[in-house]
Structure 1
Amino acid sequence: MSPLLVCLVIGVAIALSTWVASLITREYSWVDRIWSIAPVIYVWVFAAGGEFTPRLLLLASLVTLWGIRLTFNFARKGGYRPGGEDYRWAVLRGRMSQPQFAAFNLLFISIYQNAVILAFTVPAFTVAEAGTAPFGGWDIALAACFLAFLVGETVADQQQWEFHRWKTSERTAGRTPQPGFLQTGLFRYSRHPNFFFEQAQWWVFYGFAVAATGVWLHWTVVGAVMLTTLFIGSTIFTESISRSKYPAYDDYRARTSPLVPWFPRRPAAAGERTA
């Protein structure tokens, strides 16, 4: 059986399982709980279908490291515990009628997001189809970039983790945390550095399909495109919540790059026009 077909069968089973689990538990983060696990499974299936060539073993190893790191970060935030639902789903439920959210849960959370997860791993299928294309310098460079972005996301998530632990300790002590949102470290240069590094890793992953074939554009680029589109929507929604909670967030938005880390813009002087 084609490894792509095997992954499609697994993907359908996961999508169905996450949807059923959400109906039973009334929690809607089941896709989040498999987000770091399913890609590891898919890429190892593609590696097996391609007879474990050096390039495929490299891809599978990189994605396994990615999965271990992300699983750890999600687990320590309580994502696998009962009640560990993403806070944004509760906000969204409040903005939708019950039938609207039921349709959203089925079509977007359970089906579309699982399709995205499978789609951003399919460059490994292109690599498997390329057979024994020579392993070379581009593979090493891409692996180094992937690992660098992995380190960047690890640092961003650690800074966020430490900040939220500090917020919890302030509330426990009866104080109101000030500031209410993270804007130091990597978050001084990007409002969402962890989002940037996550997407960058999967664009690099697509680069291995280019390295294996020498062709720049494959249909498997659709996964990286879908992931970026998903993050755009997620970022807009997340920031709408932050802006409603923190009056100072607009000032932060005005001076800080939305995604790609860059030097912060200087605050506007009194009376100076801003974009």
Structure 2
Amino acid sequence: MDPLVVCLVICAVTTALTWLASVITHEYSWVDRIWSISPVIYVWVFAVAGAFDARLVLMAVLVTAWGIRLTFNFVRKGGYRPGGEDYRWAVLRGRMSGWRFGLFNLLFISIYQNALILLFSLPALTAFEAAGMPLGAWDLVLAVVFLAFLAGEAIADQQQWVFHQWKAAERAAGRTPQPAFLQSGLFRVSRHPNFFFEQAQWWVFYGFAVAATGVWLHWTIAGAVLLSALFVGSTVFTESISRARYPDYDGYRARTSAIVPWFPRGLKPRPDERTA
């Protein structure tokens, strides 16, 4: 069977199941729970259909490494436990009427996000259509850069994990954590370094489509473009919550790049700011 058709069927089934699970449990992070799993499945479908073409296997191995790391991080944060819903969905529910959120859940959380996951996996389709083209120097460069971005995201997530563990310990001891939010380590040069590295990996993944064909622009770039657009909206929403919670967050915003790591502007971190 055509691997694209197989992936479309998997996507349709996954969409239906995640939506149904959200309706039954009244938790809306079911797509979050399969976010790090579905791309691995999609890319391996193309690798198997391509008779384990070297480039497709390389792409599948890289995505598998990405999926393992992201799944591990999601597990340790309790994302798979009952009640492990992303806190932002609860905030959004409070801002929308019941029927509007129900429609949002169906169209955006379930349908759009599952479609997006498939879309940013589809450079594998371009590579599949060019199967047989030998690996070259650009494939090696892309693999190294992908792994570097993967390591960057792992470091950012670890710094965030250590900070929140310390923050929870401070509260358990009856103390008020200071600082209240992470602004050191990689978070000194980007307010959302994990967002940056996540997007960057999928732009690099699209690069394999270019390496396979020698052509810069394919329609399968749409996944990386739409993923970046999603992160823009997610960043704005996340920061609206942070600004409401922390009076000094605006100062952090003023001196720190939003996504792309860059030199801080003006103020330096206080001595008591924690690094991982």
TM interval, shorter chain, is over 0.9
| Aligned pairs for 1:124-139 within 5 A | 124-139=124-139
Deviations 1:144-167 (A, max 9, x none): 000000000000000000000011
For residue 131 of structure 1, report the CA deviation from its aligned partner: 1.6
Normalising to structure 2: TM-score of the pair?
0.96
The residue that corresponds to 1:273 in the other structure is none
Could you tell me how far apart the structure 1 residues matched to 2:159 and 2:172 are? 20
Could you tell me how far apart the structure 1 residues matched to 2:134 and 2:85 are? 45
Deviations 1:69-116 (A, max 9, x none): 000000000000000000000000000000000000000000000011
Residue 88 (structure 2) pairs with residue 70 (structure 1): no
For residue 267 of structure 1, report the CA deviation from its aligned partner: 3.4
Amino acid at match of 2:267: P
SS, match of residue 27 in structure 1: coil
The residue that corresponds to 1:150 in the other structure is 150
For residue 48 of structure 1, report the CA deviation from its aligned partner: 1.1
| Aligned pairs for 1:1-275 within 5 A | 1-267=1-267
Could you tell me how far apart the structure 2 residues matched to 1:120 and 1:45 are? 14
Amino acid at match of 1:179: P
The residue that corresponds to 2:273 in the other structure is none
Could you tell me how far apart the structure 1 residues matched to 2:74 and 2:10 are? 22
Amino acid at match of 1:9: V
Could you tell me how far apart the structure 2 residues matched to 1:160 and 1:152 are? 12
Deviations 1:222-250 (A, max 9, x none): 00011001110000000000000001000
Could you tell me how far apart the structure 2 residues matched to 1:194 and 1:47 are? 28
Deviations 1:162-197 (A, max 9, x none): 000011001101111111110000000000000000
Could you tell me how far apart the structure 1 residues matched to 2:180 and 2:44 are? 41
Amino acid at match of 1:92: L
Identity %: 74
Aligned length: 268
Structure 1 alignment gaps of length 5 or more: 269-275
Q: Which segment is superposed worse, 172-181 or 13-22?
A: 172-181
Q: Moved runs in structure 1, 4+ residues, more than 6 A?
A: none
Q: Which segment is superposed worse, 217-226 or 171-180?
A: 171-180
SS, match of residue 120 in structure 1: helix
Aligned-pair RMSD on alpha carbons?
0.8
SS, match of residue 264 in structure 2: coil
For residue 44 of structure 1, report the CA deviation from its aligned partner: 0.2
Amino acid at match of 1:251: G
Q: Is the 8 A contact 2:54 2:134 kept in 1?
A: no
Could you tell me how far apart the structure 2 residues matched to 1:126 and 1:49 are? 13
Amino acid at match of 1:101: F
Structure 2 alignment gaps of length 5 or more: 269-276
Deviations 1:35-57 (A, max 9, x none): 00000000000111211111111
Q: Which segment is superposed worse, 48-57 or 116-125?
A: 48-57
Could you tell me how far apart the structure 1 residues matched to 2:111 and 2:170 are? 39
Could you tell me how far apart the structure 2 residues matched to 1:237 and 1:38 are? 25
